Structure 1
């Protein structure tokens, strides 16, 4: 008995469906195998910055142009086939040997960015800070044409001079980030530390504002060679402020000289009046003279309990403190004029 046409067609359809299923399984297996194989890279490291709004096709092409040795369409189809192409996040990414298509996609979907760092050091001036930012790897420079006033207004602190307004720390950023973004973080960090210190001040503090605190902390930062001396250095300056005695600190004079300072501070410099000359003017200078760290901020607001009015460098990084001018002169003779007689 011959099979009916319906039965013949049904069998052929089942065979076709089986073949399609088999091919699909083989294709899926091939894709799974390929997705877990290390990608071929033309260099040891491949970096790509993905801007917001970049399409998956453009991302695939960008990776190939950056150093992945593969046809762009294979990466693009993998992104689409995974169902994760719309979840890829903008950012800066680094691909190293051993990375697979699967790990590449996971990195972009999770936003595991490759971060660079720039370190800002306690005691640096604002200009040195800007020099470091200008040389930071992969940091977009968008503030170079701004004046100081324009920058501080952009940061939400109009009217402030930029000196001392940025907290020294190590800042991580994704390559392609802007210098303005780092400046914003550093400025917010300094405001936070200053406000926290100010809130914990003693009622007896001679400082009148958070900016006074920042100015004094910057002087302490430049005057202290040994960490443990900070509270005593702070005590000397606070004691002088209370009685109206000039601070007479060399770093402020040097700052006021600017480019005129050649590394040799002379008597004429101490006698030449500038807004920063604390030998010719009483009180604090008009702005900070450097970026103080947290230790100097805390010392300025919590000075040691001491009546000292003078200090002189011992020559080993530490200082000798004195309550009277006669005692101070003896210390100067011992540690400065006759250093060979130091104990």
Structure 2
């Protein structure tokens, strides 16, 4: 009798050992894919269906062993829909990646100074993103308001997953701009010529387009604020260009400066009705906290920087130097 019991126990030990070895072998078996293979887990896909799909692709040889492991660890059956990058690591590690929702991440970048039409053209051509934008009701869709969307999308890189919507990305950009603008408005200096935070956004967009040199933004802001505070017109070319829209051929003509549009700051007083681009945080901060200066004029030197002047005489001399190439 003792021999029988010992034989049974021995057989049980051997069977357990073999089962454990097989279990370990299964756990460590690699998924037979080329590294960085993309695979979409569709909504509603269960564990068995996933394994059958992989088996059909010859990525696993059979499913029953993994079904046993899933019985031992039910968390493996919690699959999250999305697009994943599979690797030649173990089958189980690839399944855990899907359990944890480690989807492929894509990105969309809004560039400082980019106009709304350019943002919309770029997002329309962005891969793995559903274009659900309603152009006729865009402001309502993104801002829940009738305010023109120009200026309201914060320049940054936004990450998203496969089949996310374009509106969800732009809403995040709008929320970030709103928060940035609100914070800046609370920190604004005294005696600025703005009646609202929206006017700050308009000014910041002009500052953004007026100079490509980040270090000049504060002085550009100071000059514009000085003009508004002394009832001067802004007389800035970027607003004229924006007002011309598709009619702008790359060269501002005298006629363009004379013709009236709501954005021709050579003709209108004060700020134009909307922003003209997506301003950076630095441009917004420059608009609400410009340094004190007496500058009211500036002219491009041709190297990306500007010559600033306090009087019209100085400005005319700078124009001769840098625009007309005439030395005094």
- The answer, yes or no, to whether TM exceeds 0.5 is yes
Deviation larger for 238-247 or 297-306: 238-247
Alignment partner, residue 23 of structure 1: 15
Alignment partner, residue 280 of structure 2: 293
Shift of 1:87: 3.1
Which residues in structure 2 correspond to 1:251-266 (within 5 Å)?
251-266=238-253
Alignment partner, residue 239 of structure 1: 226
Alignment partner, residue 85 of structure 2: 94
User: Aligned pair count?
Assistant: 327
- Per-residue deviation, residues 160-179 of structure 1 (Å, max 9, x unmatched): 11111100101111222111
Alignment partner, residue 118 of structure 1: 108
Shift of 1:224: 1.0
Say whether the 8 Å CA contact 1:48–1:62 is kept in structure 2.
no
- Per-residue deviation, residues 112-169 of structure 1 (Å, max 9, x unmatched): 22211111110111111122222223112222xx134x23223343111111110010
- Determine if the alignment matches structure 1 residue 45 to structure 2 residue 33: no
Shift of 1:270: 0.8
Which whole-Å CA distance do the structure 2 matches of 1:140 and 1:60 have between them? 28
| Residue 147 of structure 1, aligned match among 128, 135, 139 | 135
Structure 1 gap segments, 5+ residues each: 1-6
Which residues in structure 2 correspond to 1:263-342 (within 5 Å)?
263-338=250-325
Which whole-Å CA distance do the structure 2 matches of 1:206 and 1:84 have between them? 60
Which whole-Å CA distance do the structure 2 matches of 1:72 and 1:243 have between them? 81
Which whole-Å CA distance do the structure 1 matches of 2:77 and 2:112 have between them? 43
What is the RMSD computed on CA atoms of the aligned residues?
Answer: 2.5
Which whole-Å CA distance do the structure 1 matches of 2:272 and 2:58 have between them? 57
Which whole-Å CA distance do the structure 1 matches of 2:39 and 2:177 have between them? 32
- SS of 1:263's equivalent in the other structure is coil
Alignment partner, residue 147 of structure 2: 160
Structure 2 gap segments, 5+ residues each: none
Shift of 1:45: 2.0
Task: Compute the TM-score of the two structures, normalised by the length of structure 1.
Answer: 0.87
- SS of 2:159's equivalent in the other structure is strand
Alignment partner, residue 35 of structure 1: 27
Which whole-Å CA distance do the structure 2 matches of 1:216 and 1:305 have between them? 17
Alignment partner, residue 99 of structure 2: 109
Question: Judging changes above 3 Å, is the alpha-carbon distance between structure 1 residues 37 and 73 closer, same or farther for their aligned structure 2 residues?
Answer: closer
Shift of 1:80: 4.5
Shift of 1:76: 5.7
Say whether the 8 Å CA contact 1:46–1:68 is kept in structure 2.
no
Question: Judging changes above 3 Å, is the alpha-carbon distance between structure 1 residues 307 and 112 closer, same or farther for their aligned structure 2 residues?
Answer: same
Say whether the 8 Å CA contact 2:299–2:319 is kept in structure 1.
yes
Shift of 1:316: 1.2
Which whole-Å CA distance do the structure 2 matches of 1:155 and 1:190 have between them? 12
Say whether the 8 Å CA contact 2:219–2:290 is kept in structure 1.
yes
Which whole-Å CA distance do the structure 1 matches of 2:62 and 2:141 have between them? 41
Shift of 1:247: 0.6
Say whether the 8 Å CA contact 2:143–2:171 is kept in structure 1.
no
Task: Compute the TM-score of the two structures, normalised by the length of structure 2.
Answer: 0.90
- Determine if the alignment matches structure 1 residue 169 to structure 2 residue 160: no
Shift of 1:99: 1.9
Alignment partner, residue 131 of structure 1: 121
Question: Judging changes above 3 Å, is the alpha-carbon distance between structure 1 residues 79 and 114 closer, same or farther for their aligned structure 2 residues?
Answer: farther
Which whole-Å CA distance do the structure 2 matches of 1:213 and 1:64 have between them? 59
Shift of 1:289: 0.6
